[in-house]
Amino acid sequence: MKRFAIILAAGQGKRMKSKLYKVLHPVCGKPMVGHVLDTVKKVQCERSIVVVGHGAEAVKSYLGTSAEYVLQEKQLGTGHAVKQVKQLLGQENGTTIVICGDTPLVTEESLEAMLQLHEKNGAAATILTAEVDRPQGYGRVIRGENGSVKRIVEQKDCSPEENAVKEINTGTYCFDNAKLFSALEKVTNNNAQQEYYLTDVIGILVQEGDVVEGYRTDDYTESIGVNDRIALSEAETLMRARIARKHMLNGVTIIDPGSTYIGADVTIGADTVILPGCSIYGQTVIGEDCVIGPSSDIEDCHILDGAKVKHSVLSQAEVGKDTTVGPFAYLRPGTKLGNHVKVGDFVEIKNASMDDGSKVSHLSYIGDAKVGKNVNFGCGAITVNYDGYNKSITEIEDDAFIGSNVNLIAPVKIGKGAYVVAGSTITNTVPDNDLAIARNRQENKPGYAEKIRARAKAKKQREQEESRE
């Protein structure tokens, strides 16, 4: 049976009090509507239609071609929103999920279980429900003697008996597609808000003798819809815990999950250890047997097996097997480190590659460079890559030695096995196995330091006398 999804994302979200459209607020690094779209795709929905309204262009820009779109020009209720999709799905046969774009915590497992129940029982509609201790504010799910759903009663309309019911409507449904759009034609706006409610479809289907089921999720947190910054924070906390649990069940050691931030799209291999205070996000992939942290910030990076990253910031960088980074290193976009490379403290690398076995241990800047194998950089070495107008490349071939406090003025090439003496400023090619030295011969002037101090002292005395006059 075909499956479809309708994601409701047209509301303005005034309670967020934000210039950013509500469903684009991120939870664990991914906008809420992105979480929802990914989830419905995981349950094999052939088509996903996003109903947009306020902020339509921003939502389309983010989701791109991963979804289809319809515009709800006036926000006249959830039923009205779904009805706008008739032009795309009205002639289809199958099962349609209807879900809100601000419910990022709904899981693939719950959607699949709901769909299985729906399809097994030939239901016209199935509601995703949850049982909560404090159901105030939620619509109550009222079941019949056989367990099927009789109706949904909103809080304000509950009798005392209905008010005591703890099973709530989460706002996520699946429908027989043809029956959904048929029932929507019968929904009216005869209510205080003069809106067309999707929940009215449930009552219409029951009245027509159709089966309506309810699938109750074991995790009530899936019911959370994010309408303000408080709920956004709660969703973030819950998803962080969920993500950490998933990684730990997959063999990752997270020393302190409470102080560790891992984004929704991060992949981590088994036997890797994440130390406290780390933020790992974007499309980062970390291999097996790595040690990350403490207090490292890693975005959109690819880190291979056995690497160690300590107290460092990495962005759009590649780190090879058994390579060590830090403490206090900064790998900027375009950095590519080979295997068994060492990047030490207070080293910055940008748009540069370093091949296997090379070392830059401390206080250096390597930018716009191509570094071969087994190259050693001394303390304070710098590739001078920018002349104020253009950036140029430094090439350093295998087995070269770059002494401390060396400036390599790009474009320049250091040959294989070459040796650059400490304190040199290199502007020309150094051929293979040559030694390069570029500094003035030292000259000592006997007693001259005393003359300098005497002149300085005399100048200070004159300035003090002038200030007293």
pLDDT single digits (tens) 365-379? 999 999 999 999 999
Distance of CA 168 to the CA centre of its chain: 31
Q: How far is CA 65 from CA 37, 48, 61, 168, 406, in A?
A: 12, 10, 9, 34, 50
Region 214-226: what's the mean pLDDT? Answer: 93
Mean pLDDT calculated for residue range 324-344: 98
Q: Are strands 212-216 and 125-131 parallel, antiparallel or unpaired?
A: parallel
Helix, strand, coil share (%) of the chain residues, nearest 5: 25, 30, 45
Question: Which residues fall in the annotated binding site for Mg(2+)?
Answer: 102, 227
Give the C-alpha distances (Å, rounded to integers) separating 263 from 72, 278, 459.
Answer: 32, 11, 62
Q: Which residue, 2, 4, 145, 163, is CA-closest to 70?
A: 4
**Predicted confidence (pLDDT) per residue in 144-196, tens digit:** 888 899 988 888 888 899 989 999 999 999 999 999 999 999 999 887 778 89
pTM of whole model > 0.85? yes
Q: Tell me how far apart the alpha carbons of residues 170 and 1 are, in angstroms, rounded to a whole number.
A: 24
Average pLDDT in the chain: 95
Residue found under tokens 């709800």: 72
| pLDDT over threshold 80, residue 333 | yes
d(CA 121, CA 274): 45
Q: Domains along the chain?
A: 3-223 (3.90.550.10), 229-436 (2.160.10.10)
230-274 per-position pLDDT tens digit: 999 999 999 999 999 999 999 999 999 999 999 999 999 999 999
8 A C-beta contact, residue 118 and residue 96 = no
Question: Is pLDDT at 306 greater than 80 in this prediction?
Answer: yes
Give residue 420's pLDDT: 97
Q: How far is CA 411 from CA 104, 373, 424, in A?
A: 50, 20, 16
In which band, very low, low, confident or very high, does the pLDDT at 385 lie, cut at 50, 70 and 90?
very high
The string of DSSP codes covering 173-211 is EEEEHHHHHHHHTT----STT----THHHHHHHHHTT--
Structure tokens at 411: 């474009």
Answer for the pair 307, 323: CB distance below 8 angstroms, yes or no.
Answer: yes
Rounded Cα gap, residues 375 and 337, in angstroms: 12
- The answer to whether residues 23 and 32 touch, using CB atoms and an 8 Å cutoff, is yes
pLDDT for the residue 466 = 85
23-38 per-position pLDDT tens digit: 999 999 999 999 999 9
Q: Summarize the annotated binding site as residue ranges.
A: 8-11, 22, 72, 77-78, 102, 139, 154, 169, 227, 332, 350, 365, 376, 385-386, 404, 422, 439
pLDDT per residue as tens digits for the range 13-26: 889 999 999 999 99
- In the chain, % of residues over pLDDT 90: 87
Q: Count other C-beta atoms under 10 Å from residue 449's C-beta.
A: 9
- Name the residues annotated as catalytic: 362
Query: 136 vs 100, which has greater pLDDT?
Result: 100
- Collapse the DSSP code of 314 into the 3-class scheme (helix H, G, I; strand E, B; otherwise coil) and give the result: strand
Annotated binding site for acetyl-CoA, which residues?
385-386, 404, 422, 439
In the chain, the percentage of residues whose pLDDT exceeds 70 is 100
Which of 397, 399, 398, 408 minimizes the C-alpha distance to 436?
408
User: What are the tokens at 222?
Assistant: 């899936």
Provide the pairing of β-strand 342-350 with 330-331.
parallel
For residue 50, name the pLDDT band (cuts at 50, 70, 90). Answer: very high
User: Which run of H or of E encompasses 345?
Assistant: strand 342-350
Left (φ > 0), alpha (ψ -120 to 50) or beta: where does 55 sit?
left
